[in-house]
Amino acid sequence: MGGDHGPPVTVGGVREYLKRHGGEGVRFLLHGDEKALAAEVKKAGVGEVCEIRATDKVIAMDEKPAQAMRRGKGSSMWNAVETVKTGEAAGVVSAGNTGAMAISKLLLRMSAKGLERPAIVASWPTLNGITAVLDVGANITSDAEQLVDFAIMGEAFHAAVHGSTNPSIGILNVGSEDMKGHEDVREAATILRDNPFGLNYHGFVEGDDIAKGTVDVVVTDGFTGNIALKTAEGTARFISTLMKEALTSSMQAKAGALLALPALRQMRARIDPGAINGGPLLGLNGIVVKSHGGADAKGYGNAIRVTVDLARSDYTAKVGANLKRLDAVLHSTPSEPVETVS
């Protein structure tokens, strides 16, 4: 029921997913208003793989997370997360209210002990493919342990969803030298450098390394990550506004733009937010993927793709094993060797 457009986009997303990836081995439980969902399922022709779980209760997009949690029980969002908890569903995808995070945390609990809230990962288009950047907004301050949590989860995410083998990991910093930055990034770097997780740790990276694609996974606290992401979005919008102004500023420019249009459209497709829509809430006992509220059916279809990829991969097992190892590294007493504990 969620998102700016509701069932036309979420059920349309199922249709888009099936069109691109086929329906083998996938079934969808649709939670929400029975009539609205049934109409969309019929329209989209996806009845064969869908089952409607009716509920009248819907959390509005503008409700505060605390409110969403309090009166959430029995809502479409609550019921959807509950199917993950019971194991009936392998994952849940929602374009709804950010209360999804509070409800997920309440029902599923955190698997990453160091985290207060699930981390949000952004799939960032770069000159080199796609880089996973996390956390982009959930955890406002992050100590070294949390940053290592992000590295572990981001690595498994990138491998599962973007198909990389042995993804490289960088920690976002103000310089690449070892002594740069504050204590938390330096300590996280130390843990990752002599790491027992088998991760491909690259070192510190700077802001401009993100779009360069220097590494596959960029780790940062949620405050810096959120600001980096929104600054990049703002910059892209700024340039695109100037460009539109320039290309409509004279008859000659307009003629040039017309000729260049097919090439520019192709370029646009490469940075189409729909194609990278779908960010999991990382660190929960269960797969929960958040679609952008404004996504269209194609974008929502991609969020479904991310959910299926995560559920089918060894993501959960790999993250579980590495978080356990991290816990042993950080919290074992010197007399207990790490190997024994893990």
66 sits near a second copy (criterion: CB under 8 A): no
Q: Name the DSSP class of 284.
A: B
- Least distance from a second copy to the Cβ atom of residue 84, Å: 27
Options 35-43, 47-55, 189-197, 221-229: segment touching a second copy (CB under 8 A): 221-229
Retrieve residue 176's tokens.
């690449």
What residues from 264 to 283 belong to the interface with a second copy (CB under 8 A)? 264, 266-267, 270-271
Contact status, residue 155 vs residue 199, Cβ threshold 8 Å: yes
Q: Choose, by CB under 8 A, the member of 20, 182, 312, 331 that binds a second copy.
A: 182
CB of 53 to a second copy, least distance (A): 33
- The encoded tokens of residue 97 equal 């209210």
Q: How far is the CB of 167 from a second copy (least distance, A)?
A: 19
Work out whether strand 168-172 and strand 200-205 pair parallel, antiparallel, or are unpaired. Answer: parallel
**Residue 62, CA atoms < 13 Å, CB-side half-sphere:** 0
Q: Is 234 in the site for a second copy (CB under 8 A)?
A: yes
The one-letter amino acid code at 254 reads: K
Contacts of 138 (CB under 8 A, 6+ apart): 101, 117, 118, 119, 120, 222, 281
In the structure encoding, which two tokens stand for residue 337, read together?
A: 């060797």
Nearer to a second copy, 187 or 327 (CB): 187
Query: In the window 131-170, what residues touch a second copy (CB under 8 A)?
Result: 137, 140-141
The letter for the amino acid at 284 is: L
Piece in contact with a second copy (CB under 8 A), picked from 8-16, 46-54, 122-130, 308-316: 122-130
Q: What angle is formed at CA 300 by the lines to CA 210 and CA 295, rounded to 5 degrees? A: 70
Residues within the interface to a second copy (CB under 8 A): 125-127, 137, 140-141, 172-174, 181-182, 206-212, 220, 222-224, 226-239, 241-243, 245-247, 249-250, 252-253, 255-264, 266-267, 270-271
